[in-house]
Amino acid sequence: MAVLKPPCGKDAKVNKAVTLETMQTQFNFLYSLVNEVPDPILVIGTDFRVKFANRAAQNFSNSFVCKTDREPFCHNLVYNMEFQCAKVGRPCPLIEVLESNKPVVVEHEIELDDGQVRNYEIHASPLWDDDGHFLGIVESIRDITDRTEYARMLKKSQRVLETSVEERTKDLLRSNDILRKEIVGRQNIEKILRAERDKFQVMLEAMGQGMHILNSDFTIEYQNDVLRKLFGDQIGHTCYEVYKGRNTPCEVCRMHKAIATGQVQRTEEIMRNERHYAQSYAPFKDIDGEDKCLILLNDITEEKMYQAETMRTGQLASIGELAAGVAHEINNPINGIINFSQILMDDSEDDATKQILQRIIDEGERIAIIVSKLLSFARQGVDDTKAFMETEARDVLYDSFALLGHQYKKDGIHYSITGSNEPMLVWVNPQQLQQVFVNVLSNARFALNEKFKKERSEDKKLEVNFSFIEIKNKMYVRISFTDHGCGIPEGIIDSVCNPFFSTKQPGEGTGLGLSISQGIVKEFKGYLRINSELGKYTTVMVDLPVYEPEKGE
């Protein structure tokens, strides 16, 4: 075998002489360079003999010693075997390069002199001369024992991991199956709960019940559509701010009482929108463990009004019956007084006596008129559906003053009636219109007495004015009542016509007078408006469509 250093034989000869010094220098450089490569590098001829081996290749097998000039076989040098690799079942790099005519990579297990088995990766590339003749192969050997062991360990770990993943996958599949069943069960429960909730909400909405949920901090956590339409979306706001218009909690909190006692609390209150609501407070513990309250609100304003109307109708019926009896009892003696006075006056020739008798007759007739008006006013609730009729608005006002004039005179209230002298004809129920006028006159009397404390003053006066106005291309009769009393605060003037709203002390008013009056005026297809300035005046304007007999309107 010809090697670069040292020659295999003691007296080895170089087959070709090197004549050029530069070539020798290059040869020496390449020789040194190849010898420094840590991997064994061999040049193997087509006869399977090693033509060249670097230092790493020479040291690869301790049994390799060049005892002759002949080059050793590659299987002797590398594997320390007497037979070629192909004959013992090993892949031969030289044969595979010859067959494929391209570089190949093979792996071999090699047992070293110390008995240790190592894994090697052999890279073999074809070697050609300048004329293109195949000379053999260049072979490099790399120890891949550690890499192979790592690969084996990695493969083993991979198998363990795959087994673990497979087992874990089975566990997950079982868990997923259990979870899927739980989810299906929850979905069914949620579907049932959702259906029950929808039924409950539909029932509440059909009943007109408002519903909201409060936490212990007075914060609204839920509102149904009924309350949302009435008060807007107020979730996150406090109940006392939204429903009562307050900056602080109510003095008596039904919610906290319901939570503290664990019992449903009920009450009736007027909300910020001036409507009357029956309220039910039901405590419960939420899923987060916090104590909360479910509140149901039922608008009973109309019911309260109906109750008041029913009571009033009953009272008026009783008054009507009483008035009818009183009128009968009074009219008989009054008629007697009038008749006897008339007889005495006819027989008397004394002018002074006649004047006194005439005064008696006039006062008796006035008593009869007052009794008649009282009876007519008391009976108006008996037949509110009575057909409307052509009515002179002034006459109704005079009838109203006939009932209240004495009280005005007693309180020192001056009143005047001004305006156009033209007929003020309207198509109304005169008894109901009289009720409107009496309510307005009663409120004016109250306001004047509040300001002047029943003291007499020239400024303690009520002014009533009749005029014609045009509204939306239609003529109306306007009856304006202006009292110079205490006036109405600006903040509540829009609420004075709401049912049960009253500025009077308990027992002095029901809060229904203006509300009922406004309803009556609306039935007449008219308008009731109020202007006021606190401490100066209040003007109530009643606008009624003009009745035109010639047009039948």
Domains and CATH numbers, the chain: 21-143 (3.30.450.20), 208-299 (3.30.450.20), 301-377 (1.10.287), 383-551 (3.30.565.10)
Question: 175 and 78 in contact (C-beta within 8 Å)?
Answer: no
Distance CA 390, CA 396 (A): 12
pLDDT of the residue at 33: 80
With H, G, I as helix, E, B as strand and everything else as coil, classify residue 547. coil
Q: Two tokens at 115? A: 């008995």
DSSP labels, 224-289: -HHHHHHH---TTSBHHHHHH--SS--SS-HHHHHHHHTS-EEEEEE-TTS-EEEEEEEEEE-TTS
pLDDT of the residue at 67: 42
With H, G, I as helix, E, B as strand and everything else as coil, classify residue 511. coil
pLDDT of the residue at 467: 93
Q: Kindly tell me the sign of the dihedral angle through the C-alpha atoms of 490, 496, 500, 503.
A: positive
Calculate helix-pair angle for 513-523, 430-452, nearest 10 degrees: 150
Residue written as tokens 């008749």? 339
Distance CA 484, CA 444 (A): 8
Q: Give the mean model confidence (pLDDT) for residues 222-232.
A: 81
Q: Give the mean model confidence (pLDDT) for residues 249-253.
A: 83
Give the side-chain half-sphere CA count within 13 A for 135: 12
Q: What is the pLDDT of residues 437-482, one digit of tens each?
A: 988 998 899 888 888 876 778 888 899 999 999 988 889 999 999 9
pLDDT of the residue at 317: 64
Q: Give the mean model confidence (pLDDT) for residues 237-249.
A: 84
Residue written as tokens 């019992």? 263
Question: 250 and 240 in contact (C-beta within 8 Å)?
Answer: yes
Distance CA 91, CA 444 (A): 125
Residue written as tokens 């198998």? 159
Of 239, 207, 208, 206, the residue nearest 222 (C-alpha) = 239
Using pLDDT thresholds of 50, 70 and 90, give the confidence band for residue 507. Answer: very low
Neighbouring-strand partners of residue 541: 480, 529
215: region left, alpha or beta (phi > 0 left; psi from -120 to 50 alpha): beta
pLDDT of the residue at 463: 93
Using pLDDT thresholds of 50, 70 and 90, give the confidence band for residue 101. Answer: confident
Pairing of strands 461-471, 414-419: parallel
Question: 412 and 485 in contact (C-beta within 8 Å)?
Answer: no
pLDDT of the residue at 451: 85
Residue written as tokens 């020192």? 412
Q: Is the pLDDT of residue 500 over 60?
A: no
Using pLDDT thresholds of 50, 70 and 90, give the confidence band for residue 307. Answer: confident
Question: 477 and 393 in contact (C-beta within 8 Å)?
Answer: yes
208: region left, alpha or beta (phi > 0 left; psi from -120 to 50 alpha): left
Q: How many CB atoms lie within 10 A of CB 418?
A: 10
Distance CA 80, CA 94 (A): 17
Backbone angles phi, psi at 463, to 5 degrees: -115, 125
For the whole model, what pTM was predicted? 0.41
pLDDT of the residue at 511: 52
Question: 73 and 61 in contact (C-beta within 8 Å)?
Answer: no
Q: Is the pLDDT of residue 62 over 50?
A: no
With H, G, I as helix, E, B as strand and everything else as coil, classify residue 479. strand
Q: Give the mean model confidence (pLDDT) for residues 78-88.
A: 78
Q: Give the mean model confidence (pLDDT) for residues 245-261.
A: 84
Q: Two tokens at 103? A: 């570089």
Residue written as tokens 């006194």? 356
Task: Compute the residue count for the chain.
Answer: 553
pLDDT of the residue at 9: 41
pLDDT of the residue at 382: 46
Q: Two tokens at 371? A: 């009794």
Question: 58 and 41 in contact (C-beta within 8 Å)?
Answer: no
pLDDT of the residue at 323: 65
With H, G, I as helix, E, B as strand and everything else as coil, classify residue 187. helix
Q: Two tokens at 92? A: 């031969």
Distance CA 316, CA 235 (A): 47
Q: What is the pLDDT of residues 263-297, one digit of tens each?
A: 888 888 777 676 778 888 888 888 778 888 888 88
Q: Is the pLDDT of residue 81 over 60?
A: yes
Q: Is the pLDDT of residue 165 over 80?
A: yes
Q: What percent of the chain has pLDDT over 70?
A: 80
- For 242, residues 6+ apart whose C-beta sits below 8 A from its C-beta are 220, 231, 234, 272
pLDDT of the residue at 482: 94
Burial class (CB in 10 A: 0-12, 13-18, 19+), 398: middle
Residue written as tokens 């006013």? 377
Distance CA 525, CA 426 (A): 11
Give the side-chain half-sphere CA count within 13 A for 152: 7
Greater model confidence, 291 or 508: 291
Of 380, 479, 384, 464, the residue nearest 426 (C-alpha) = 479
Q: Is the pLDDT of residue 23 over 90?
A: no
Q: What is the CA angle 244-247-253, rounded to 5?
A: 60
Q: Two tokens at 464? A: 């009533």
Neighbouring-strand partners of residue 41: 140
Considering only 165-174, 315-324, 443-452, which range has the smallest mean pLDDT? 315-324
What does pLDDT average to over the chain?
79
Q: What percent of the chain has pLDDT over 90?
A: 7
**H/E stretch holding 337:** helix 301-347
